[in-house]
């Protein structure tokens, strides 16, 4: 209960910061729409037109009036209308979210499987050749920024094997059937997921390995060995199970951050996810879109923290007592 109040307080503060911050800066969306040197929009607005637009979007109201309407909109989960796209922010996020979820979830599942397999066996053979190689490799790989991994993969795999590296599907393609469409989506997903996998797997691996090393020293492992259990059973059912708690918490808290954190990978592959929407919103100073995205991303972080707490209690009921 206390935690829930904390989360609500955090949530409220974050949404407030996001509301006031852009309004404290110089420039507004219409300055950027009318003379944006880098954008593809070239319209020139007279000062009167800008003023009319500001009035239309309510941006010349006193800040507190804007703020109260912002909060009352948020309470109804209405994120407003994007100024740049002229679409409702809810619908924009809804159209981008499935792609991000596809990327993050499939990548995370691969990462988790590989890291459990590698981490468990690495800790089992601590300081042997296998462990040293995997540990060293993971330390190096985790230091390469994800966008560099992504660019490297494009050059290596796209250049030589012709795997598509832009977008989430072939534009203007005519599909012969549903399977054809799925195949197209999957081949476009291949490189982003590989980049995601490479840049997350070593972090998960280190958490699994550390947890395993702790639990392998516990007396119940000795008991299990004395009972003559099969090694695989000791590794996964006894030792890994005991270290499941920190790992699950880590995975779930990380998941919330990853939804917004894949922005680098999405931007390299021009993947139409939520992450690339953020940079578009920032570049165009699209206040409602920025606020809406931030509201949404903070919500995912808080929800994933909450679910981590819930899972924690479910896995280990002693926490409640």
Binding-site ranges for another protein (CB under 8 A): 6-7, 9-10, 13-14, 18, 21-22, 25, 139-140, 143-148, 151-152, 154-155, 158-159, 256-257, 259-261, 263-264, 267-268, 275, 278-279, 282-283, 285, 290, 293-294, 297-298, 300-302, 305
CB closer to another protein, 25 vs 75: 25
CB of 219: closest distance to another protein in angstroms? 19
CB closer to another protein, 90 vs 300: 300
CB closer to another protein, 150 vs 189: 150
CB of 110: closest distance to another protein in angstroms? 21
CB of 60: closest distance to another protein in angstroms? 19
CB closer to another protein, 235 vs 305: 305
CA distances from 104 to 43, 44, 181, 262, 293 (A): 37, 40, 20, 8, 17
CB of 285: closest distance to another protein in angstroms? 8
CB closer to another protein, 98 vs 159: 159
CB of 185: closest distance to another protein in angstroms? 22
CB closer to another protein, 65 vs 137: 137
Cβ(18)–Cβ(294) below 8 Å: yes
CB of 154: closest distance to another protein in angstroms? 6
């Amino acid at each position: 209960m206390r935690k829930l109040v904390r989360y609500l307080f955090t949530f409220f503060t974050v949404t407030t910061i996001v509301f006031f911050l852009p309004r404290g800066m110089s420039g507004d969306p219409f300055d950027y729409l009318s003379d944006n040197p880098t954008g593809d929009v070239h319209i020139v607005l007279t000062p009167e037109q800008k003023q009319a637009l500001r009035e239309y979007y309510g941006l010349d109201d006193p800040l507190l009036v804007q703020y109260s309407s912002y909060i009352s909109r948020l309470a109804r989960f209405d994120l407003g209308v994007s100024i740049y796209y002229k679409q409702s922010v809810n619908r924009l996020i809804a159209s981008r979210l499935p792609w991000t979820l596809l990327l993050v979830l499939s990548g995370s599942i691969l990462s988790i499987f590989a890291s459990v397999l590698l981490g468990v066996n690495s800790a089992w053979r601590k300081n042997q050749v296998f462990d040293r190689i995997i540990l060293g490799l993971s330390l190096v790989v985790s230091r390469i920024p994800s966008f560099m991994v992504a660019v490297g993969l494009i050059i290596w795999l796209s250049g030589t094997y012709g795997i598509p590296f832009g977008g989430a599907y072939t534009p203007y393609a005519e599909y012969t059937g549903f399977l054809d469409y799925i195949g197209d989506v999957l081949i476009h997903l291949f490189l982003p997921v590989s980049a995601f996998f490479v840049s997350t797997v070593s972090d998960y691996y280190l958490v699994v390995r550390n947890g395993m090393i702790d639990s392998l020293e516990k007396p119940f492992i000795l008991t299990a060995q004395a009972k003559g259990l099969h090694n695989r059973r000791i590794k996964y059912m006894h030792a890994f199970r005991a270290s499941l708690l920190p790992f699950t918490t880590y995975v779930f808290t990380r998941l919330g951050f990853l939804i917004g954190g894949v922005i680098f990978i999405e931007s390299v592959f021009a993947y139409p996810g939520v992450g690339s929407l953020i940079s578009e919103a920032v570049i165009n100073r699209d206040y409602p879109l920025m606020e809406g995205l931030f509201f949404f991303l903070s919500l995912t972080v808080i929800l994933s923290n909450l679910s981590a707490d819930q899972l924690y209690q479910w896995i280990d009921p002693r926490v409640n007592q």
